[in-house]
Amino acid sequence: MMRKIFLPTILLVLAYGFWFSPNFKEISAGVAIFLFGMLFLEEGFKAFTGGLLERLLRQTTDSTWKALSFGVVSTTIMQSSSLVSVITISFLGAGLIGLAAGIGIIFGANLGTTTGAWLIAGFGLKVKISAYAMPMLVFGIILVFQKSKHLKGIGYILAGLGFLFLGIHHMKEGFEAFRDTIDLTKFAVAGYPGILLFTLIGVFATVVMQSSHATLVIIITALAAQQITYENALALAIGANVGTTITAILGAMSSNVQGKRLAGAHLIFNVVTAVIAIVFIYQIGTGVDWISRNVGIAADDYTLKLAVFHSVFNLIGIVAMLPFTGHLVDFLMKVMPEKILPKATPKYLNDSAIELPDTAIEAVRKETMHLYDNAFAIIAHGLSMHRHDILSEKDLNQIAVESTKVMPIDIDYEYENNVKGLYSDIVGFISRAQTSMDPHQADELFALRAAGRDIVEAIKDTKHLRKNMMRYISSDNSHIRAEYNKIRVYLGSVLRRLAETEKWGDDPAQILSLDNIKIEMEENDITVNGMLETLIREGNISPLMATSLMNDAAYAYDVTKNLVQMGEVLFARGDQAMKDAERAIALDDDDVAEVLEMTKDQ
């Protein structure tokens, strides 16, 4: 109901303002152009997130101080705490970074965003920036229409800066003209009532525009035109700081619980910082005067003093909150616990993860790991072996000999309820994500989709293998029982080695060790190594048993092949170049045949 009323109300207020004053029209147009520039700037920086930003984010999250520094630097460069927040939520939702690191980045982003006030107050109001805006817009728009992703990104950034400068120019002109008709300082409110009132106004303005930068530009240009008092401007800046959390909250609504926790941390930090700033506003103001005198800022240069205040109170918030980061993480995990989801429910596929190519790829990789985790249990039970036994250090031969009782499992039911739907969700997510990716990134998604298909095929082959296995692992014929136990032991060892590869996937040697399984797979082919003929010739098994064994050996071969193909894609870590190198030197079918031929010759 509120949403339906909110937008029409805003539109009516703006329409009345346009009718009431042409100067208000220019100020509003300046705000709109500025916000449009912010959108262009964010779009431009997103063009460069497919590598550099992600690598930096991974490398700067192993300590709180590094994460804090990353937040400061990235926000200073991109001039958008909203973009940094969205990127951080995307990485957190995809499981690429931890909650503590995400909180550190958000703390740093709050300090980094204060550089915008410095640029506007120190440069934007003292130079005719509209002269710079026009060339930026011309060159930027030309580059936007280029096919190259990076040229297009540079074009968006240039055009974004041009629109930002143009917006600031129109707001500045509008407020200066406004001064000649209406003096807004008549509405100033002194003391703490004014501080609280204007803090709320600052929150409201930022929630409406979803940009603290835009609110700060309005505050600074209005202050420069003497349309608001310095004290009320400080309160508006505090409110803008709280209002900016709405972007993170909206971004987290489409994320998983980790993203929601980060949005909660952002809100708590900004509210605590705002409370400290309001309670000690006069003491902080005295400190700002002292700093200003010592750095050469004039006593009546209120716009630059506002920039100093903005940086100081955010820095105070970081100093106050940083020691309690661990407690904040514990609190958020307690009030927002991880929900126990059904096995077939996606854990990582959410709209926030699809924002960036790298997070989308990582979300698909982790979800396919989730798919494999579900499949592992089905395959293990299909072999009548316990998952915990396979993952232990127990002798698999002994486990197979001792576990002659067939485990009850309906593979069709398990597949329909715990695998099929999840795999469909992964395929659907990939089809949505690939539209914004370059060919190399899309290829990685296709490889992951193929890994998911390999998992599905391995389950289906296990189902076929199980039909005869259920009868023969408890057979009175020790020979057929032994052959089926060999199949069980071999597939159990494949699952065990894949688990080891998953655990140590950062080591390229672990991925390449899967080549050994390919070679063993060929060596253990009962139809090739002559074992089947020997068993028949010596009368150890009947022709019917031999047919079953031959078919089931083929199914076991296919299960192994599918699982190894999956492992080579799914468990590879590192950057794309490392993954490509690992896949390039992995043995293909011809290589395996050549190795076996060389072994025979020796």
CA–CA dist 257, 261 (Å, integer): 6
pTM of the model: 0.68
In this predicted structure, what is the pLDDT of residue 515?
66
Q: Say if CB 70 and CB 105 are below 8 A apart.
A: yes
How far, CA to CA in Å, does 191 sit from each of 143, 205, 235, 276? 51, 21, 11, 16
Alpha carbon distance 112, 414 (integer Å): 50
Q: Which residue has the higher pLDDT, 82 or 124?
A: 82
Which of 208-212, 288-292, 597-601 is predicted with the least confidence, judged by mean pLDDT? 597-601
Provide φ and ψ at 572, rounded to 5°: -70, 130
Give per-residue pLDDT as tens, 270-311.
889 889 988 888 898 889 889 988 888 888 888 888 888 888
Is residue 450 very low, low, confident or very high in pLDDT (cuts 50, 70, 90)?
A: very high
Span 493-515, average pLDDT: 72
Percent of the chain with pLDDT over 90: 4
Per-residue pLDDT at 1 exceeds 50: no
Share of the chain above pLDDT 70, in %: 72
Instruction: Give the C-alpha separation, 481 to 55, whole Å.
Output: 53
- Between 150-159, 266-275, 413-422, the lowest mean confidence (pLDDT) is in 150-159
Top pLDDT among 235 and 95 is at: 235
Contact 354, 429 (CB under 8 A): yes
| E strand segments, 258-335 | none
Is the predicted pLDDT of residue 453 greater than 90, yes or no?
A: yes
- Model confidence band, residue 457 (pLDDT cutoffs 50, 70, 90): very high
How many beta carbons lie within 10 A of that of residue 122, not counting itself?
Answer: 15
Q: Six-digit token pair at 587?
A: 């043995």
Predicted confidence (pLDDT) per residue in 311-320, tens digit: 888 888 888 8
Checking if the pLDDT of 178 tops 60, the result is no
Report the first-to-last Cα separation within the chain, whole angstroms. 81
For residue 347, which of 332, 357, 330, 362 has the smallest C-alpha distance?
362
**Given CA atoms 424, 428, 433, 434 in this order, what sign does their dihedral have?**
positive
Name 137's Cβ contacts closer than 8 Å, sequence gap at least 6: 158, 159, 162, 163, 166
Lowest mean pLDDT among 23-37, 167-181, 347-361: 167-181
In three-state secondary structure terms, 444 is helix
Between CA 571 and CA 569 the distance in angstroms is: 6
CB atoms within 10 A of CB 77: 13
**What is the overall mean pLDDT for the chain?**
77
Amino acid at 358: D
